[in-house]
A = this chain, B = another copy of it.
């Protein structure tokens, strides 16, 4: 039994889509140990899941080589975090809202702020813009991960396609495009945010 083995086993339970989901008791079973043995290594369930979250942040940054163009680099950074969150949807909802206060998070924050400094922003605006950027990424990560298993795109499209024209005139006027809202808006939002940040950088630079 060790921190590392516990984190790895917890991740396996969380990610198995056919499995019964994660619980401390099931983690104990999977480890072949009494569930309460885990309290020797983590304060409680939250603490353990924070460690798993930090592991995923680390994975998302593995092999990341920032592109010389800060905007392209930041875009890839965001997409990596988002994609890794979607790969672990049951943790994304939990992990996105929490700061892990661990090494992998520190490194990611340092990289992101460094990219915006390179873009020419002073300390205050680099921090402000990085904060908006990373929370947009985490917000969409949580939203899309939580929504995917529960929202039916087909049902959504069916309902919105058949709303009465007189009561919902704006929806009626965009009927042939409403289906696109069943997917994720993450990349659209990310690109809008990055273009606004780039415009700001251009005005300052």
* A residues apposed to B, CB below 8 Å: 46, 93, 96-99, 101, 106-107, 109-111, 113-114, 117, 123-124, 126-133, 135-136, 138-140, 142-144, 146-147, 150-151, 155-156, 159-160, 163, 167-171, 173-178, 180-181, 184-186, 188-189, 192-193, 195-197, 199
Contact = CB atoms under 8 A, between A and B. Distances in A.
Given A185-B131, A192-B197, A98 B139 contact: no
A99 B151 contact: yes
A47 to B, nearest CB: 11
Contacts of A163: 106
In the complex, the count of this chain's copies comes to 2
Contacts of A180: 124, 127-128, 131
Nearest to A125: B177
Contacts of A97: 93, 142-144, 146-147, 150-151
24 contacts: A97-B151, A99-B156, A101-B156, A106-B171, A110-B168, A110-B171, A114-B169, A117-B170, A117-B173, A123-B176, A126-B177, A127-B174, A127-B178, A127-B180, A127-B181, A128-B185, A131-B180, A135-B185, A138-B143, A139-B143, A142-B143, A192-B193, A192-B196, A195-B199
